[in-house]
Amino acid sequence: MTIYNNIARGLFEKDKLVFSFMMCVEIMKQEEKITPAEWNFFLRGAAGMDKERPGMPTAPFLNNVKVWNNAFDLNKKGPLTNLI
């Protein structure tokens, strides 16, 4: 908390959220709550992963195929191990 407070004093308000997120991710990676494959998926998505996926369901929060593909790939543990 001391590190956050000291650094956050020098940041613009809009940048504090990003800094908090990056600190949280690093802590979670050190505690092995986020795997390197999950972090790579978050950074890069499933781009270049040509594979068969089920059709997109009808849901108000799914507004395009790319969102559905990312949600489907993130849910599957198998493809994440191939992203590194």
Give the predicted TM-score (pTM) of the model.
Answer: 0.56
Structure tokens that stand for 7 in this block: 């650094």
34 contacts 28 by C-beta, under 8 angstroms? yes
Question: What mean pLDDT is reported for the chain?
Answer: 79
Distance CA 60, CA 82 (A): 30
- Measured over all CA atoms, what is the biggest interatomic distance in the chain, rounded to whole angstroms? 49
Asked if pLDDT for residue 6 goes beyond 50, the answer is yes
Q: For residues 17, 23, 24 and 27, what is the CA-based torsion angle, rounded to 10 degrees?
A: 180
- Taking residues 20-24, what's their average pLDDT? 93
